[in-house]
Amino acid sequence: MSLAYTTETQFAISAVQRACLVTSSVFNKLVKNETLVKGDKSPVTVGDYSAQAVISSMLHRAFPNDPIVGEEDAADLRAENGALLRNRIVELANEALSAELGIGDIPEWGIGPGSKQTADELLDAIDRGNYEGGRSGRMWTIDPIDGTKGFLRGEQYAVCLALIVDAQVQVGVLGCPNLPLDLSKPDGDKGCLFVAVKGQGAQQMKLNGADPIPLTMPPYSPSTFTFLESVEAAHSSHSTTSRISAILGLTQPPIRMDSQAKYGCLARGDGGAYLRMPTGVGYKEKIWDHATGSLLVTESGGIITDSRGHPLDFGLGRTLGENYGVIATAKDAHDRLLSAVQEVVKQEQEEAASK
């Protein structure tokens, strides 16, 4: 009997690998005026657009009926003053699409020598990421560069691709070009690919697909337990995490890095838990920021919920709706961590009310 989603997994690995070629190329060639500003003021690089163009273009060839929930659209690139940026994106995307075929690559996905596309085709590919999501059917989520600030610093970022079927994440692939294969050896080999398939486990391999190893999250150990959290305090409340650490009696400092690379590190045992606590009222998490990572956690033996203990709901559209915060950790740590989180949230609410 064949395993489910074999073709989709093979495709997702190939698409993320090619998108990582783009992002690495962009970083090495980063030049002035190739950064736009989104409405939320976070930086968006030419790499975002190029990587989404590559993945969306490949998806259109491989699974033409599958809708895409993507982070970017091409409106700014179609404008008259977007010509310089547009030309750069076309060049970079085509460079990746037309690169030599590797193991597992299929030419019908629109890749390999001679697979260059026109500017209009690539802009249309970017715009295919406008699907609003929903409860039923298949859809893919793309985060072309998760952790843009980390990317610009030459630190951690991730290229994220996930297949969601009937609101359940079935396949997730995470490419982390700057992540050491072993976090305890920061000067060692870098470039990790994390792959998870529902019911089939999770793996880490080199970015080229070599040396796959199965991932199993270690059990709770208070002496070594540490939090993985965002570098940016604007993304997740560091003060809340400090209070939670005090309640649990934790002594290890948090590991701070950008992007869903944190999920990959958690799945392979680099930290005890990933916490993302909201810093403002009304913010709703985007599904592309957690789809791949959530499957890595569960397939490596962990649990992921929001701060109320509810499972993350990927069937509500482009956001996680009323899910509040994210808690991911080993099964035997979740109850005690959830209790500490809820205690701190209650304290903070009472303090805010008394002001």
Residues assigned a catalytic role: 48, 148
Q: Provide the greatest CA pair distance for the chain.
A: 66
Please state the φ and ψ torsions of residue 17, each to the nearest 5 degrees: -60, -45
Is the distance from CB of 341 to CB of 327 less than 8 angstroms? Answer: yes
Q: Render the burial of 188-227: b for 16+ CB within 10 Å, e for the rest.
A: eebbbbbbbbbebebbbbebebeeeeebbbbebeeeebbb
Alpha carbon distance 62, 224 (integer Å): 44
348: alpha, beta or left, given left = phi > 0 and alpha = psi -120 to 50? alpha
| Residue pointed to by tokens 């030599």 | 100
Q: Which of 330, 270, 268, 280 is nearest to 305 (CA)?
A: 330
- Residue 127 has, within 13 A of its CA and on its CB side, a CA count of 11
- Residue 354 has, within 13 A of its CA and on its CB side, a CA count of 6
